[in-house]
Each structure stands twice: as C-alpha cells, then as structure tokens.
C-alpha cells in the first residue's frame, strides 16, 4: 500500500486534499475521514498543496490589481504603508480617489485612542484629502504643520492644510507662523529661534506620522505656480539636478536633500526621519513620477498613497 501511495505521488494526494479544502470547502477533519488518514496528515497535505503552488487564488475585483501593485511597491522600496487606488473611475465601482484614500488613512490614525503627533505638509493633493475628512473629536492627538502658512506676498498660503484640518478635526493644532521661504538663511535661523517656533519645530520632529505632498519641479510645478520661485530660479535648480520637493525641501534624483541652493532658505520643519516614524506621501500623475521615484529611492518617505497608473510606472522604472 505504501508503495502504491508513493508511486501515485504525494502531490496527487496533496492536490486532492487541497481541492477538498479550498474548492469543496470541507474541514480538514472531513478530508481526513474521506481519505482515510489522520487529521494532521490532511493538514500537511493541504499545506503542501499551498507550498507547491498547486492552489491558485485569484481575486475577481478591480481592486485586486491595485493591491498587487501596492505589494510590489512595498517590496521594492521597503515601504511600511502603501495604498494604490484605481486610476479609471469607469473601470469599476471602486472609484476611490486619492483624496478619499488619503482621508481614510488619516482617519485611521486619528481613530487611535493613544495620543499621537500627526504632522502635515502642504500641497493640492494633501489639501484635497484633508477636505474629505469627516468631523472627529480627537482631543488626545496633536496636529502640527511642517510648513509655514504665509505666502510669498504675505497673504495666507492657500495650500497650507492645517486650518482645513482644524475645521474637521477637534484637536490641538500647531501651525507654523512663518513664511514658506525666507529671503535668506540668516532670516530663517532668526525666525526659527523664536520660542513659539522652536516648540513647534520640536513637536514636528517627534511626529508619529507625517502626511506630505510631493511636488514636481519645472515651470509648471507648484512652487512656480504659487509664486514661491521664479521660473529662472527653478530652471537653475532643475539643471543642478533637483528632482522634486517635499515641504519645499529640494532633493535630487537619488532622493538626497540638496545642500545649499534654496534649501538654506526653506523655513519648513525638517521632514521627520522615516526610520523612526511613518512618513506618508500622497502623489499621483505622470508629471510627478520622477519626484516620487526619487523620494522613494532616498527613503524620504516610507509610505505612499498613489493611483494605479503611477504605481505601474514606478514599478516599471
């Protein structure tokens, strides 16, 4: 008998057990009884079928591709948190936009009962996400802005998101009463030395989780559009190897922060270390591709929320 079982191959039995378990939905006890073996042996056959890749599981849902892409990105860049949303709303019922996905992730953090420090950057994408937040009561948390809220002309910077966030989330908020960009490194240092600013800077440094937008450079990038940088300054930066920016901090194609250049004048809190905390970027679109890839490569962020098409391109590159 043993001889015959062997010649038929253990894999055949594994296939049979796997079929009974996964397709027919029997329990391992039933399989054991049907095959005349012990429950443990049935369990071994089932796990053998899985280990030998006899069992193929497929998910019939548009979101499946997104999850695959997310897993790919997680593996490729060592990310802690990935969310890929479907690109084409018409493709299925899952028209979760980037903004909604970002809001969901923010809410996931805010729902925690233990107090956390949540830091936010700036940008249109992030603003859209924050606008999707549902009202919540979160007295235990603190929310801090990484970027100044004064625009280049002295008015409020529209895409500073912390005030939008304050509308929805009842929590302690800490804006940065600074411009985004100072006129000089000295001015930046002076401003940062104010007591109020120093405490906010310290708070930002200890953020448990940070949500940031990722800005592309070039004359159509947000820094130019919003008037923070003139086009010729921008072109100089790009020619100098800049690939993108987060909270105004410029980085090259390897995700290394540029030394000198305008980074000396950026008033933003330094981007929290992605070794110690979660730094989640929200970005999507072909134009941002190089910036996102660089930020991932340099581990400036360890979490990403993007869309399907962008995820594909990131994995391809």
Partner DNA sequence: TTTGCTCATGGGCAATTACTCACCTTCACC
Partner DNA sequence: GGTGAAGGTGAGTAATTGCCCATGAGCAAA
Applying CB under 8 A, which part among 97-105, 177-185, 255-263, 281-289 lies near a second copy?
97-105
Does residue 273 bind DNA (CB under 7 A)? no
Residue 191's binding partner among DNA, a second copy, none (Cβ under 5 to 8 angstroms by kind) is none
Does residue 6 bind a second copy (CB under 8 A)? no
Residues 6+ away with beta carbon under 8 Å from 55:
18, 22, 49
Structure tokens, 194: 């104010």
Q: Please identify which residue in the block is written with the tokens 């890839």.
A: 293
Residues 6+ away with beta carbon under 8 Å from 243:
217, 251, 252, 253, 255, 290, 291, 293, 294
Interface residue with DNA among 2, 57, 90, 195 (CB under 7 A) is 2
Do residues 49 and 18 lie in contact, with contact meaning Cβ atoms separated by under 8 Å?
yes
DSSP secondary structure code for residue 23 in this structure: I
Residue ranges in 36-75 that form contacts with DNA under rule CB under 7 A: 37-41, 43-44, 46-47
Does residue 295 bind DNA (CB under 7 A)? no
Integer Cα distance of 83 and 74 in angstroms: 10
Nearer to a second copy, 19 or 158 (CB): 19
Structure tokens, 97: 């936009």
- Strand (E) or helix (H) holding 6: helix 2-8
Applying CB under 8 A, which part among 107-115, 178-186, 223-231, 260-268 lies near a second copy?
107-115
CB of 115 to DNA, least distance (A): 20
Q: Please tell me the count of residues contacting a second copy according to CB under 8 A.
A: 44
Q: Which residues pair with 118 in a beta bridge?
A: 143, 209
Interface residue with a second copy among 100, 131, 187, 252 (CB under 8 A) is 100
Structure tokens, 280: 């989640």
Residue 9's binding partner among a second copy, DNA, none (Cβ under 5 to 8 angstroms by kind) is a second copy
Q: How many CA atoms lie within 13 A of 302 on its CB side?
A: 14
Interface contacts to DNA, rule CB under 7 A:
2, 6, 10, 21, 27-29, 37-41, 43-44, 46-47
Interface contacts to a second copy, rule CB under 8 A:
1-4, 8-9, 11-12, 15-16, 18-20, 22-24, 35-36, 49, 53-61, 63-64, 67, 71, 93-94, 96, 100, 103-104, 107-108, 111, 132, 134, 136
């Amino acid at each position: 008998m043993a001889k015959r079982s062997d010649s038929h191959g253990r894999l055949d039995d594994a296939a049979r057990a796997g079929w009974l378990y996964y397709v027919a939905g029997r329990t391992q006890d039933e399989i054991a009884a049907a095959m005349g073996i012990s429950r443990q042996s049935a369990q071994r056959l089932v796990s053998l079928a899985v280990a030998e890749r006899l069992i193929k599981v497929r998910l019939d849902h548009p979101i499946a591709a997104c999850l695959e892409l997310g897993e790919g990105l997680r593996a490729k860049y060592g990310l802690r948190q990935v969310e890929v949303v479907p690109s084409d709303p018409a493709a299925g019922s899952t028209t979760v936009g980037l903004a909604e996905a970002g809001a969901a992730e923010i809410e996931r953090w805010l729902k925690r009962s233990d107090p956390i420090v949540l830091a936010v950057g700036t940008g249109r994408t992030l603003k859209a996400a924050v606008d999707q937040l549902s009202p919540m009561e979160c007295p235990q948390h603190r929310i801090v802005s990484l970027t100044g809220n004064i625009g280049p002309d002295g008015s409020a910077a529209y895409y500073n998101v912390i005030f939008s966030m304050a509308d929805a989330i009842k929590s302690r908020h800490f804006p940065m009463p600074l411009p985004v960009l100072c006129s000089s490194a000295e001015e930046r240092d002076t401003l940062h030395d104010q007591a109020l600013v120093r405490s906010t800077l310290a708070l930002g440094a200890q953020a448990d989780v940070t949500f940031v937008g990722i800005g592309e450079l070039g004359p159509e990038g947000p820094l130019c559009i919003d008037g923070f940088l003139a086009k010729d300054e921008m072109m100089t930066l790009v020619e100098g190897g800049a690939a993108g920016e987060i909270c105004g901090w410029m980085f090259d194609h390897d995700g290394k922060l540029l030394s000198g250049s305008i980074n000396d004048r950026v008033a933003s809190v330094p981007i929290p270390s992605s070794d110690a905390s979660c730094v989640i970027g929200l970005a999507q679109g072909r134009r941002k591709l190089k910036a996102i890839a660089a930020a991932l490569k340099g581990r400036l962020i360890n979490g990403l929320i993007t869309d399907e098409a962008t995820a594909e391109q990131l994995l391809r590159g």
